[in-house]
Structure 1
Amino acid sequence: MYRILIADDENIVIESLKFIIKAKLGDNCEIECAKTGRSVIEAAENFRPDIAFMDIHMPGINGIDAMKEIRKNNNSIIFIVMTAFDKFDYARETIKIGVLEYLSKPANREDIEAVLSKAMGIIDKRREIRTRDLTIKEKLETIIPFMENGLIYTILLGEDNESISKYREILGISEEFGYIMVVEAKQEFASNMTNVVGSSVRLEDHYELIKESVKDEINAVVGPVMTNKIIILAPFDKNAMPYEYRTKLVERVRTLIHNLENDINIELKVGIGNVKNFEKLNESYHEAISALSIGNGSVLHALDVKIGCEYEDDYPIDTERNIFDAVEKGDADRASNEALHFWNWMVNYHGDCLSDIQIKVIDFVLRAEQMVYNKTNSTYRFTSRTNYLEAVTGAGDLGTLKHWYLEKITEAARKVSKVQDDIQKTPVEKALNYINENFGQDISLDEMSQMLGISSYYFSKLFKNETGTNFIEYLTNLRISKAKDLLDENRLSVKEIGITVGYPDPNYFSRIFKKNVGQTPSEYKGAE
């Protein structure tokens, strides 16, 4: 349906246009008419036309001024100017108004229908774009909760920063920092036992109201109900929360919780963690949980309750944290440097406390290796650390102990790094690494596919797409290339070289070599 406004002070022009438009569009249009500048402005406000046929010279307000006024409130209207005067006299004035076309009176039917079709095409395109945008928005409204939940789970699991960055990009989170709030429903009691399930169900029943109420008050990502808790991420633009902001936040959240409790009849409690960068938001979560368990009151900020361990003034806690942050990220060089800084502190300030240094060394090494187990999914063996105590207590001097300590910390980071590299590699990259290291073994396409956990057909396609050659050709070319290198060295016999590069049958080795090089291995070796 198209809404069309005709503005002209001549009845014959109005009726002619109405007849042509109705003949072309039939019931697919609504038409309104006006004969003065003022009446056309008023009609445009009430009727909201898609298209307006405008005369320039009308009683009262002229057509140009009328179009300017209409454009203020209707940015999408399409103007078609009809006038008996030379269009060049006013084209300069109307160019900013966005006139689609100028028709000279009397305009013939074909010209009117052509410009009408052009205007309708523009309107149809706009509507198509609008429909598509609404569809996309509708789909996003469905997807966004899953993305928000995914971000919350990723933070709680302490997963890699790349995953967090992808969620932030999708959700449009530009802030570099944030803090976690945990909303907890008071646990119900049944038969003297805590009923977490009952609290969880009641939270689920009112989840949408809680979610919308939180988002109305705070710019936040609201996660799902987890047991009797809801995890909330609030992005923040600074690396720390000023005291004044914190006190106001606590009051705002307290008011929010009070109003919610009245609406849903559930007693709620909120813990708020400290501001962290996104990589360490799981620490903010644990601080919020600790605040809930330690403090009294409906809203508790981690800085308002005493949480965690305190350290002596000169203890290098930042260096300690940096060590394990580097291990967790697989940064061996940084882990080694930070571990060395901590060692120097121990020796400089507590060099006479050998047993304390030994205990701290064991503590750090075991913690670093635990990270390896958690990050690499490797198998823990009870006897894997049999010689650790002897290595630490039996070290003849601090230099030997230092070497063992730095080696173990660096080794842990390298193991994490290797797994991260393997995770990031494509199946073909993993295959190429394996082939390059094991080309002398019996390698088949089926066995390689099984190792990678994908079908041989799919692996074959991937391999060809990424390398430009098929699996057998690549393996053969690599083996022949290695064989030529060994023949050039002239240290091994032809038979030994064949076995080394994966061809234990000397006759087959000779045939495949000649097919690719044009000479037998013996001929190639003799030519050298």
Structure 2
Amino acid sequence: MLKILIVDDEVLERTALTKIINGSLEDVIVIGEAPNGRKAIEMAQEHRPDIIFMDIKMPGIDGVQAVKAIKKFDPSIRFIMVSAFNTFEYAKEVMQQGVKEYILKPSRKQDILAGLQRVSDEIKEERKLVEERQSLRENLDRAVSIAQKEWVSSLLLNQVQDITFDEWGQLLGVEITSGYIMLFSLLPMGEAELSASEKHNWYLWLKDVLKSVVKKQEMMIGPITDSQVPVLFLYKKAMEKIHYKTTAQKVIENLNSHFCNIPIRAELRIGVGLPYNHAHELNQSYHEAVTALQQLLKTPTRRYLFAVKQGPGEIPSVSGVLEIEKKLLDAVRQGDVNQVLFIFDSFATKLAANKELKESLVKKSFDELFILVSRMLHDLGISYERMPAVDVTEDLAVIFEKGKAHLLAVVHHVQVWRNNHAKGMLHKAKEYIENHYADSITLELVAEYVELSPFYFSKLFKDRFGMTFIDYLTELRINHAKIEMVDQGKSLKEICFSIGYKDPNYFSRVFKKQTGLSPTDFRKATVG
């Protein structure tokens, strides 16, 4: 409903306009009348009307002066000028204020309503565009958030080998030089475990707070797993890596003022990994953040701890261990028992073989591995209890055996899930694609429909059907295009739009890539 204010020094004019407007249009209403410019300014400030019918010639503050004053505090208000003075100077002055409608007294009803309709339509069209832009922005923000979660998840599982800081910088619109991981952990106050809704509320709170306090760094917030949230901080070119601890400290200090507002009875702890110059090294920063967090939990009085650069021999040939971890997680995801056993033995042997490695670090490495397994299961949508934290008092051989038994149980769970639940979800996804191929369909949309992480939906889809989601969708659309080309009454442009493409030129390129022929040549060859 659009609100109208009538401004005229003649009471009969105001009454007549009010009667005409309220009695003729359903989506507008007169919310007040003002006898002069001064009163019009006061009422406009109080009621914020959408449209003002403004008489030009009034004693004191005239209509032109009133328009200027009102536009200063609310430029969105539209004006329809009403005057018995049919002179160019008056018209020119209000036109300079952006006023497009000008009605002469005595005014005919159809002129009043026609002018009002034009302004109303313009307002509605602008509001529609604003809503569409807002919706587009929300969808874009949502897509970016999903993409960031997937990037961080892939990074933690050491599955990001082919993306560089340069490529990340291009996507983000800034030049990235290095990055590091902060790991946020929520500790319940008391014996009771946190519920899923409590964790979700905390996760939303953490995202909002981080976005409000992080100003100078790019940031990607990962998914929550086991009450832990990894956050990737990226340095822009203007920021020196040597200042990493200072900037990280500022983030934490800014968070301090928000700690008392955590929506549930819990405490926040933060482990901070070291910065690295290459994207593939960020997995190491995550492991360091995990280690820092584990050490921090032994010191209840501290909220955060930075990782310390280890000396030679204290980290077991990191790149080799991380590569084995990646292979092990892939084998678990595939449900391959033999590979899991073989790789796990290699993992255990590699850790145990390093004589210079402290036993406590070996045990922490196992703890980190099972955190990663738990995170992977979470991303797959599999509900499974995480292996309890490693008991540092136990013998390494006992820890190895317990770890192997836990992994075998996880693999069995994954096998059941892949054979039943995953197959059902992929079949459901395939049906959804076949029914909606002509819509603006995306991998994220389908993954959400079947309640899977986009990252793992993409992997499972390719494993199951032997092609990527986009290749399958493209093949489906092109096959439907071929069928529709039999109907000579349909133009290629119509066919393009009917199968989900918005650009005929792009459709033509995709079609030729798939079939070797342009749509025109294909139609000639098959239909004649």
Q: Match for residue 37 of structure 1?
A: 37
Report if aligned partners of 2:164, 2:278 keep a CA contact under 8 Å in 1. Answer: no
C-alpha change, 1:460 and 1:68, in structure 2 (3 Å) is closer
Q: 1:87 to 1:270 in 2, by over 3 A?
A: same
Cα drift, residue 4 of structure 1: 1.0
Task: Return the offset for 1:469.
Answer: 5.5
CA displacement, residues 274-299 of structure 1 (integer Å, 9 cap, x when unaligned): 44457243343233234334676432
CA distance in 1, matches of 2:55, 2:16: 14
> How far apart are the structure 1 equivalents of 2:201 and 2:28?
47
**2: distance between equivalents of 1:243 and 1:455?**
47
2:512 counterpart of 1:466: yes
Whole-angstrom distance in 1 between the partners of 2:474 and 2:59: 82
Amino acid at match of 1:232: V
Give deviations 1:358-385, integer Å, cap 9, x for gaps: xxxxx9xx9999999999x9x99x9xxx
Q: Is the contact between residue 175 and residue 237 of structure 1 (CA under 8 Å) also seen in structure 2?
A: yes
Question: 1:142 Cα shift?
Answer: 5.3
1:104 equivalent in alignment to 2:109: no
Q: Which has the larger radius of gyration?
A: 1
Do the aligned partners of 1:185 and 1:268 also contact (CA within 8 Å) in 2?
A: yes
Q: Per-residue displacement from partner, 1:458-516 (whole Å, max 9, x unpaired)?
A: 59849982258579xxxxxxxxxxxxxxxxxxxxxxxxxxxxxxxxxxxxxxxxxxxxx
- Give 3-state SS (helix, strand or coil) of 1:58's partner: coil
| Residue of structure 2 in register with 1:300 after alignment | 305
Aligned to 1:115: 115
Q: Is the 8 A contact 1:250 1:301 kept in 2?
A: no
- CA separation in 2, counterparts of 1:136 and 1:455? 23
Residues in 1 aligned to 2:89 and 2:475: alpha-carbon distance in whole angstroms: 72
Partner of 2:58: 58
1:260 shift after superposition: 3.2
For 1:463 and 1:84, the matched residues in 2 are separated by 63
Distance 1:451 1:284, change over 3 A: closer
* Unaligned segments of structure 2, at least 5 residues: 343-464, 483-510, 518-528
**Structure 2-normalised TM-score?**
0.53
Structure 1 equivalent of residue 206 of structure 2? 210
| Correspondences of 1:32-431 after superposition (within 5 Å) | 32-139=32-139, 143=143, 145-156=145-156, 157-159=158-160, 174=174, 176=176, 177-185=178-186, 203=199, 206-219=202-215, 220-238=219-237, 241=240, 246-247=245-246, 249-250=248-249, 252-253=251-252, 256=255, 260=259, 263=262, 264-276=264-276, 279-280=279-280, 281-293=282-294, 297-302=302-307, 305-307=308-310, 309=312
Tell me how far apart the structure 1 counterparts of residues 13 and 190 of structure 2 sit (CA, whole Å): 82
1:76 deviates by 1.5
Task: Provide the C-alpha distance between the structure 2 equivalents of 1:456 and 1:254, rounded to a whole number of angstroms.
Answer: 50
- Once the two structures are aligned, what percentage of the paired residues are identical? 29
Question: What code does the residue aligned with 1:209 have?
Answer: W
**Gap runs ≥5 in structure 1:** 312-319, 325-362, 383-449, 472-528
Task: Pick closer, same or farther for the CA change 1:369–1:124 going to 2, 3 Å.
Answer: closer
Q: 1:49: Cα distance to partner?
A: 1.2
Deviations 1:246-293 (A, max 9, x none): 336426515736963785444443122344457243343233234334
Q: Which has the higher contact order (CA 8 A, sep 6+)?
A: 2
Aligned counterparts of 1:103 and 1:3: Cα–Cα separation in 2 = 19
Deviation at 1:137, TM superposition (A): 4.7
Distance in 2 separating the partners of 1:9 and 1:369: 85
SS in structure 1 of the partner of residue 146 of structure 2: helix
**Aligned-residue offset at 1:147:** 3.2
* 3-state SS in 2 of match to 1:129: helix
SS at match of 2:283: helix
Which digits, 9 at most, give the CA deviation of each residue in 1:68-116, with x for residues without a partner?
A: 1111122211111111223411333223311021222222222112111
Contact 2:36 2:59 in 1 (8 A): yes
**Matched AA of 1:300:** L
- Secondary structure at 1:97 match in 2: coil
Distance 1:282 1:104, change over 3 A: same
Bigger mean CA offset, 62-71 vs 91-100: 91-100
SS of residue paired to 1:52: strand
User: Is the contact made by 1:188 and 1:198 (CA closer than 8 Å) also made in structure 2?
Assistant: no
- What is the number of equivalent residue pairs in this alignment? 346
CA distance in 2, matches of 1:186, 1:154: 25
CA contact (8 A) 2:37 2:62 kept: yes
Give the AA of the match of 1:306.
Answer: K
Q: Say whether the 8 Å CA contact 1:5–1:51 is kept in structure 2.
A: yes
Q: Aligned partners of 1:460 and 1:136: how far apart in 2?
A: 28
CA–CA distance in structure 2, aligned partners of residues 154 and 44 of structure 1: 55
Aligned to 2:4: 4
Cα distance change, pair 240–2 in 1 and its aligned pair in 2 (3 A): closer
Offset of residue 40 of structure 1: 0.8
Q: 1:87–1:102: 8 Å Cα contact kept in structure 2? A: no
Q: Using the alignment, how far apart are the partners of 2:149 and 2:473 within structure 1?
A: 32
Contact 2:159/2:326, CA 8 A, preserved across alignment: no
Shift of 1:121: 0.8
Letter in 2 for 1:223: G
Amino acid at match of 2:303: S
Residue range with higher mean Cα deviation, 130-139 or 71-80: 130-139
- What residue identity is the alignment partner of 2:91? A
Alpha carbons 1:186, 1:199 under 8 Å: kept: no
Report the secondary structure of 1:271's partner residue: strand
Amino acid at match of 1:108: R
- Please, which moves more after superposition, 253-262 or 207-216? 253-262
Residues 166 and 175 in structure 2, CA contact (< 8 A), matched pair in contact too: no
Given the two structures, how large is their TM-score scaled by the length of structure 1?
Answer: 0.53
Paired residues of 1:199 and 1:228 also in contact (CA < 8 A): no
Q: CA deviation at 1:133?
A: 3.6
